[in-house]
Amino acid sequence: MTNLFRTRIKGSLADSNLQSALDANAERRLQVRQNAFASLADPQGLRARAHLVRAEVIEHLESYLELFIEHAQVNGIQIHHAADADQAIKVVLEIASQTGAKLIAKSKTMVSEEIGLNHALEKQGIQVVETDLGEYIVQLRGEAPSHIITPAVHLRRQDVGKLFEEKLGLPYTEDIGIMTALARRTLRQVFMDADIGISGVNFGVAETGTLCVVTNEGNGRMVTTVPRTHIALMGIERLVPTMDDLALMLSLLPRSATGQKLSVYTSLLNSPRRSDDPDGPQERHVILVDNGRTAVRESELREILYCIRCGACLNACPVFREIGGHAYISIHGKGSPYSGPMGSVVSPALFGQDDYGHLARASSLCGACREACPVDIDLPKLLLKIRAGIGANQAQYHPKPNAPELLAMGLRLFSLAATSPRRYAIAQRLVGLFGSLATLLSKGDPWMRLPGFSGWGYSKDFPRPAGKSFRTRYSSQIKPKADDHDKSPRPGDISATGPTEIDTAQIDSRELVKKFAAELEALGAKFIFCSPEAVLPKILELLQGRGIDEILAWDAAYLPGGLLQRLSETGVQIIHPTGETVQTNSHIRLGLSGASAAIADTGSLLLLGGPGRPLTVSLLPEIHIALVWAKDVFEQLNQVLQLVVIKEAPAAVLISGPSRTADIEMTLTIGVHGPAELHVICMESS
């Protein structure tokens, strides 16, 4: 380890506020993750399948990239290639210049942190505003994120209250709900005024050219829907072959990252706005960023490219839980956007062993990171490779030995014995003989008294070696039969896990609706089951109770027959928004939409964009009412993602409850950039 790294670690350990924040984050994250995975029938089997999917993609990356690019371009998405950070920045600046952009609204993207995009844009006079609440907070402080999922995990509510008072001129408060509302109000205007929206990409689907962007607050939907130009930064490794593989990854990513069965918003972006679409960006660009990934793929570190950036290994790591993300720095003191166990591999792999190789020393190699990883990356093995100086076609890192000579000699002797089965067996027999002698010297006690060469020797006792090794005892007492084979499936045996699909026709539709209602209400949404004739009174009751007389709505063709006309006859003003009227309509409090499907397992709704179905109806208002037919409730996510209508729409979104955040002190707050209320009216099918 370097002196700068040690100094940063000592500072983190001495910071009581940081220690409290890290403890609270780890405890909550680990608990909710455990609860979320408990709802899966075979989590280990799913992890093993996900590992194979990621391995397949990385093994045949060129083919999947070619397929993804082909479909994305057919859909109208503009594809750009960036070999390194400089090229990626150049492409963004060129697009900004062509569109005359002065303001960029940015959703969370680790690739942008990796390439230093914000600084480069600001040097050219372009204002960049982070819109994820945690990212916005650390941007105001002039800091880098300290965690890839919860960027402001190191801060207390008092810190945020003072920050908003100093930077935004807002009244000081320690009420997290009020602070979130103030940030929502400030950032809402940024969304309305932004010339470009920039996002990351969680997954690109090769078979369809679809971009999948996962968020909870709604800012990801805002930046990919409201500005006239959308730029998506995507690492070249972030691909899945099919929609079914996407369903698999989405069953693991939110559970690992935030303990949710599905994030609040899962956006599926296929194309820019088409001629008859009411909203969406007029241009959609994808920048495929290499920045060292090809070199990593060709090295012994290639398994780190399986990473899906969930942050679970950070929460599980006993070292990260003590020092936090800002402690992970280069030998020159420069921070890395990637911290924790995955960051200790990614940083030296992408940015160089010489600068970041020492980070791999900040690990106990306990294996908690691998146990937490949803795609079963062998992180301890990769950390050992980094320690051994194995790199990704870059300057090799040469660890400097600093162990005492006696310890080094002992390790060399152990290595000599442990690397040969024959020598290891001889060593076991010698230790057994030593154990027999020790029995005589220890007067029958189960331990040996060490010579007092030091204070440590005076105060410690050593377990007495067994007279017979386990191998000897096993071979003499256990006589396995030649035909005694275990026929049961092994944990993680993919061939034994069976299909994940369930035939919805075999499940009573009433049970599906009941399960959907329970999951939906657990997310904080409201559920109403009624006949089509009862929909109007239910909506009017809500409108009158809130004093609302104007709403955003989908076209009548996508809602129950005559509903909008009857609402209008009661004096309710119906507005059909477009991309050009977003700012004018942003004050309207309620949006009314249909839904093409619902998912019982996760309490989610599927909304399709396209003619007559503006997605801003379910995004801009503070209250969202969605209508879905009982016959359109499916059991599982993978069934819904196989629907052809998703691939045909310019964009679609899976909505799982009202928008939310826990970026300040891990305190759950409902209502951020998307609606704070979701009311689902499920109509009885005839």
Domain coordinates in residue numbering, the chain: 3-293, 506-683
Type of residue at 60: H
pLDDT at residue 513, rounded to an integer: 97
Strand partners, 239: 204
Predicted confidence (pLDDT) at residue 479 exceeds the cutoff of 60: no
Instruction: Rounding to the nearest 10 degrees, give the CA dihedral for residues 424, 429, 431, 432.
Output: 150
Rounded to an integer, what distance in angstroms lies between the CA atom of residue 86 and that of residue 116?
Answer: 9
pLDDT at residue 400, rounded to an integer: 60
- Model confidence at 448, pLDDT cuts 50, 70, 90, reads low
pLDDT at residue 484, rounded to an integer: 44
Q: What would the mean pLDDT of 35-42 be, rounded to a whole number?
A: 95
pLDDT at residue 485, rounded to an integer: 43
pLDDT at residue 412, rounded to an integer: 87
Residues 6+ apart with CB under 8 A from 324: 12, 18, 21, 22, 146, 147, 153, 154, 339
Considering only residues 501 and 40, tell me which one the structure prediction assigns the higher pLDDT: 40
Rounded to an integer, what distance in angstroms lies between the CA atom of residue 394 and that of residue 508?
Answer: 59
Predicted confidence (pLDDT) at residue 450 exceeds the cutoff of 60: no
Predicted confidence (pLDDT) at residue 496 exceeds the cutoff of 80: no
User: Which stretches within 206-310 are classed as H helix?
Assistant: 219-225, 243-258, 293-297
CATH topology of domain 3-293: Rossmann fold (3.40.50)
- Model confidence at 454, pLDDT cuts 50, 70, 90, reads low
Predicted confidence (pLDDT) at residue 495 exceeds the cutoff of 50: no
Place of tokens 């697009």: 95
Q: What would the mean pLDDT of 5-24 be, rounded to a whole number?
A: 93
Residue 258's Cα: distance from chain center in Å?
Answer: 8
- Tokens coding 171: 């009244």
Q: What percent of the chain has pLDDT over 70?
A: 88
Q: Which helix (H) or strand (E) holds 199?
A: strand 196-200
Predicted confidence (pLDDT) at residue 171 exceeds the cutoff of 60: yes
User: Which stretches within 478-608 are classed as H helix?
Assistant: 494-497, 509-522, 535-546, 563-569, 582-585
pLDDT at residue 443, rounded to an integer: 62
Q: State the number of CA atoms in the 13 A half-sphere of 100 facing the CB.
A: 0
Q: Which helix (H) or strand (E) holds 560?
A: none
Strand partners, 680: 527, 626
Type of residue at 121: L
pLDDT at residue 225, rounded to an integer: 98
What's the pLDDT tens digit per position in 180-221? 999 999 999 999 999 999 999 999 999 999 999 999 999 999
- Model confidence at 297, pLDDT cuts 50, 70, 90, reads very high
Q: State the number of CA atoms in the 13 A half-sphere of 11 facing the CB.
A: 10
Rounded to an integer, what distance in angstroms lies between the CA atom of residue 555 and that of residue 594?
Answer: 10
Rounded to an integer, what distance in angstroms lies between the CA atom of residue 412 and that of residue 25?
Answer: 41
Considering only residues 605 and 494, tell me which one the structure prediction assigns the higher pLDDT: 605
Type of residue at 19: Q
138 to 132, 163, 232, 233: CA distances (angstroms) = 10, 10, 22, 21
Q: What would the mean pLDDT of 320-348 be, rounded to a whole number?
A: 96
Rounded to an integer, what distance in angstroms lies between the CA atom of residue 669 and that of residue 660?
Answer: 6
- Whether 457 contacts 450, CB under 8 Å: yes
- Model confidence at 401, pLDDT cuts 50, 70, 90, reads low
Predicted confidence (pLDDT) at residue 461 exceeds the cutoff of 70: no
Rounded to an integer, what distance in angstroms lies between the CA atom of residue 626 and that of residue 484?
Answer: 58
- Whether 108 contacts 79, CB under 8 Å: no
Question: Is the CATH code 3.40.50.10420 the one for domain 506-683?
Answer: yes
Predicted confidence (pLDDT) at residue 498 exceeds the cutoff of 80: no
Rounded to an integer, what distance in angstroms lies between the CA atom of residue 299 and that of residue 316?
Answer: 27
- Tokens coding 311: 């942050």
Q: What would the mean pLDDT of 458-470 be, rounded to a whole number?
A: 67
What's the pLDDT tens digit per position in 96-115? 999 999 999 999 999 999 99
Report the candidate in 433, 52, 471 with the shortest Cα–Cα distance to residue 245: 52
Q: What would the mean pLDDT of 128-156 be, rounded to a whole number?
A: 96
Residue 94: CB atoms within 10 A of its CB come to 11
Rounded to an integer, what distance in angstroms lies between the CA atom of residue 499 and that of residue 45?
Answer: 11
Instruction: Assess whether the region 3-293 and the region 506-683 belong to the same CATH fold.
Output: yes
Rounded to an integer, what distance in angstroms lies between the CA atom of residue 608 and that of residue 625?
Answer: 15
Q: Which range among 65-79, 392-406, 427-441 shows the weakest confidence by mean pLDDT?
A: 392-406
pLDDT at residue 428, rounded to an integer: 79
pLDDT at residue 438, rounded to an integer: 63
Average pLDDT, the chain: 91
Predicted confidence (pLDDT) at residue 552 exceeds the cutoff of 70: yes
Predicted confidence (pLDDT) at residue 177 exceeds the cutoff of 80: yes
> Dihedrals φ, ψ of 669, to 5°?
-125, 125
Strand partners, 526: 679
